[in-house]
Each structure stands twice: as C-alpha cells, then as structure tokens.
Structure 1
C-alpha cells in the first residue's frame, strides 16, 4: 500500500512531465512552420495553437512566434505554461522524495534550474533551443523512471498519469487539424509533433493523407504514442492498482471508462473515423477528464475521511444559544 499523497504526487508528476513534453513538441512544429512558411498568417496560427493547448487569447491582433513562446513556454506566472508544468512536477517530486529515486529527483531539479539559461539562449537563437531542451530532459526523466524506479504501485501511478495525459494531448494534436483538407500537408505536422513521422512512413510506405494519419495515431497497436496503445497502458496499470477481486467482474468507474474507450477503438471500422472525427475526439477528451476525476476520488481520497466537529460543553452551550436566538 502507498500513502494517498504520494500516489497523488506520482500520478501528477507523470501528467505534468508528459504535458510539458507534448506542449514542447507542438510548439516546436508550430514555430518552425511560422518561421519557414511565408503564406501562414502568424496571428491566426498562434491563436489556433493556443486554443488547442487551452490558453485564452486577447481580442487584439499582432500575435507572433515570440508572443506565443512568451505565453506558452516561458511564463513563470502561468501554471499551464511549460515552465509552470516543470515547476509543478518538481514540487510534487520534492514532496514524494521517499518514493522516487535520487536520479529522478536530480533530473527534475536540474531541469528546472536549467530553464532560465535555456530561455536566455532561446531569446537569442529562437524558441527551438528551449523546446529541444525540454524534450530532451523529458526523455531523460522517462528513461530514469523506467531504469531506477521500482516497478511497484508508485511506478504504476506515474505511468497511469503519463498515459492519460498522452491520450489527451494526442487528441488535441488531431483536433487542431480536424478541419483541414484530407490532402493538406499540415497532417504531417501532427506526425512530427508526436515523433511518429519515421514509424508512419515505414508503415504506410510514405503516403501521407488524413485518413492514414488519423488511423495510425488513434488505432496503431505498436506505436507507443498512439491513443489505443496509451489506453492499453493506462488500463493495465490501473487494473494492477484496482485491488477489487470480484466474481462477477465489478471494477472501478475509471477502469470501466478506460475499458470502454479502448474497446470502442479496438473494434471500430477505420473507414468511419474521418466522417465522425470531431465526435470521436471530443468523446476521448471527456473520457480523460472523467477518468482523472474518478481516480482522484477513488485512489487519492480528495474528500476527508472524517469531518471533525466540536462536541464539548462549550460547543453544546453555543448551539443552545443559537437555537434560542433563532
């Protein structure tokens, strides 16, 4: 058994690091497109990226690569920025030092301490330098987690958080292109952001079109960043944590939601994905939120077990006085 606060911290470390990594990937592709393609409207493109990542934009125009990086990557006052996410992961790791390895803590701590230098370099050379730093450090943390953390309940919580966040972020990547033409070259940017371009090209012999990209990113059984694979991982580790032996198969709500989402993709006709893509993506996002809420309720005991109340003579006298006044 693990303390609820440690389980909660590990779950959110997995989510925060994965979110920072995926945001860096999405931003890197968007920045390269803005800098290299003169036909792209910078203000519209920046607004689209920020909307996909859940950021609000003001009504004024004039958004550029630099304003995008300032708000989404460098902003230390925003909890949802890349810097804010790494800071949150570090604080959770600080509170759970007894259940993570020294190498994991040192990696997160060094990553956070190196952000200012990475930002200074990026302001001189461009955002790519900062975003590459984040991606490399996230990959290092993932490797240290697999190599130095005992594969027990703590490891399961961390990978559960990582997998749920990965589903949500891949869905956001696809949603950002759901209105594009099926032959648009922008679908390649989804593959690049997910680090999937090489694997996709080998699997589909170089043919890049919307139907195949969506099929690969949602349904592929072998690629670790596909939605189906991530759901499988999340379901497996949650099943290990959900200690509910039952003869009729009763299980937690979170595990039920994950199983339904996984089975709906497992048996779906790939030909029906594109016509109903927006609906499928919205359903997956709603599922991720519901699973996260359910895990918090069932595993981290967000509600207190006991609500203490005064029961002494002074409290009784105060209650009597309040009744008389009423």
Structure 2
C-alpha cells in the first residue's frame, strides 16, 4: 500500500518531469529556428508556443520584452510562474523529496543535481542572457534536457514496479498526452500561417520516426494522425493512454478509487483506437477541444483518486497545469 500524500507527490513529480522536458525541447527547437526567420515571424511563432503551453496569462503579466530571446528566458529561467523549466525542475525535486524513502537514491540524486544546476542558471540576469545572444539560456536548455533524460532513465531502470512507479508513470504520460494535444492545436494556426509539420514533430520528439513514414514535408492531417493514433510511437496520445490504462489496472487491485479513471482512460483510448480519425478531423478544432477536455478530466480523476477533494489542483485553462497559478509549489 502507498500513502495518499506519497501517491500524490509521485503523480505530480511525473507530470512536472514531463513538462520540464517538453518545454526545454520546444525552446531548443525555437532557438535553432530564430536565425532563419524574420523578426515578426519569430515573435508570432514564440507567442503561439507560449499559448500552446498554457502560459498566455503569465506571459502577459510578466510583461516580457520583445527581444529575440525574451520568450526563451521566460520559458526557461523565470521562476515567477509554475510553467518554466526552472519551476518545473524545482517542483520535481520537492515532490521527490517527500518520497525519498520510496524511491531509489539515484533518482533523488539526479533530481537534486539538476535542481542545483538550474538554480545556477536562474541566478544569471536576463540582461546578461540577452547580451550573450541567448548563449546562457541555450546552455540551460541543454542542461535541462540532459537532466530530464537522466531522470527518466533512472526512473525506468531503477524503480520497483509498485504503486509508486504506477502513479509517477501515469503522471508523465498524462502530461505528455495533454501537451501533445495542445501543441497540435497550435499547429492549426490562423489562416495566414504556413503549417510547419517538421517543427511540430520536433516539439513532440518524433521527427525522425515520422519522417520514415510521412516523408520530409508532412501535411497537418498526417501529422495529427501520427501524433494521435500511432500504436507504436511512445509520443502518440493513443500509446500514452494505453500505458496509462495499464498503470491504473496495476493499481486497481489495491485502490478501488482508480476504477473511475481507469474506465475513462479505456473509453478515451477506444475513441482514438477505433474511431475514424479522418472523419473526426473534418472539424479539427472541435475534436482537439474534446480530446483536451477529456484528458483534463482524466487527469483530474486520477488526482482525485489520491487526495481529498479539498486539495484539488486548480484548472487554469483547457487543461490542468501543474502549479496553482501563484508561483507557489505544491
């Protein structure tokens, strides 16, 4: 058996780990693309990324400058909101600290080391980062990506396959699914935008795998089908939901409270697995809105299975985002 507060901490540690990894990867892709774009186009692409990550309100409140690396700094080093890489890494460390007696010592050491490195990056002023052409922020992104991969590797190879692992893995895959859907929404663009399938696939860490099946210039429907319905790609929503369902089945024998989210995960997986996606994507905005809402409800149900109703996470946008919007860690 696992204590409710430990289950909750591991669930959110998994979610924050996936969020830190995804944001760092997206920032890396955007940074490499800046030099090939005009200033107006680069600003538009960066703003759309901020919106896809659910940080539009925080971005406006922070009064981020118009420099080419201002958005990068906001997403990587700004700890005034819970959606930056620095904040996410700190939250991973805090949640794992609560369960130090349940996790491998190597996992705690990796989380603590990454936290220290990211705090060092945060201490460098935004002006200094701008003066160096974003070089400091780029190094922070590289550090974050390597650290997140190390954490994922230690988690996969060292954690016992008990209830704690099931909650942490479910949290990671739920967050991955939510962010994939939100990034797909950003790919719809506004009529005047040119869809960049390679950029979207790079955001989701599936570019090389997709190129083998879709070629080098995939269109939006093909990219959407790949990221939503691929059965063997660990970044697809269908694959993630299948694994979430398995993790919840692992928990079902010991925790009857997960019965509702397990049924919801199964229903949503069946919707993607057996639905005719070509027909569903005739109106892609409606289908993605449904998936985003359904995934948010599933994440809320899993969270509700671990803690009392009074401590629910606050819903910020169309999906549940780690943090409570005040910059305070859970």
Shorter-chain TM-score range: 0.7 to 0.9
**Cα 1:163–1:61, aligned 2, differ >3 Å: closer, same or farther?**
closer
**Equivalent-residue separation in structure 1 for 2:24 and 2:50 (angstroms):** 13
- Of residues 238, 261, 265, the one that matches 1:258 is 265
For structure 1, the 5+ residue unaligned runs are 305-326
Q: RMSD of the TM alignment (CA)?
A: 2.7
CA-CA distance at 1:253 after TM superposition = 2.1
My pick for the range that moved more, 165-174 or 31-40, is: 31-40
State which structure, 1 or 2, has the greater radius of gyration over its C-alpha atoms. 1
Which has the higher relative contact order, 1 or 2, with Cα contacts under 8 A spaced 6 or more apart? 2
For structure 2, the 5+ residue unaligned runs are 312-330
Count of residue pairs the alignment pairs up: 301
**Equivalent-residue separation in structure 2 for 1:77 and 1:29 (angstroms):** 23
Give the match for residue 24 of structure 1: 24
Matches within 5 A, 1:128-167: 128-167=138-177
- Of residues 252, 257, 280, the one that matches 2:287 is 280
SS of residue matched to 2:182: helix
Give the match for residue 294 of structure 1: 301
1:128-149 Cα deviation digits (max 9, x unpaired)? 3222221111111011001111
Give the match for residue 269 of structure 1: 276
Give the match for residue 107 of structure 2: 104
Normalised by the length of structure 2, the TM-score is: 0.83
Indicate conservation of the 8 Å contact 1:26/1:173, yes or no. no
My pick for the range that moved more, 270-279 or 187-196, is: 270-279
CA-CA distance at 1:61 after TM superposition = 8.8
Matches within 5 A, 1:41-120: 41-55=41-55, 56=57, 57-58=59-60, 63-118=66-121, 120=124
- Residue 209 (structure 2) pairs with residue 199 (structure 1): yes
Indicate conservation of the 8 Å contact 1:182/1:211, yes or no. no
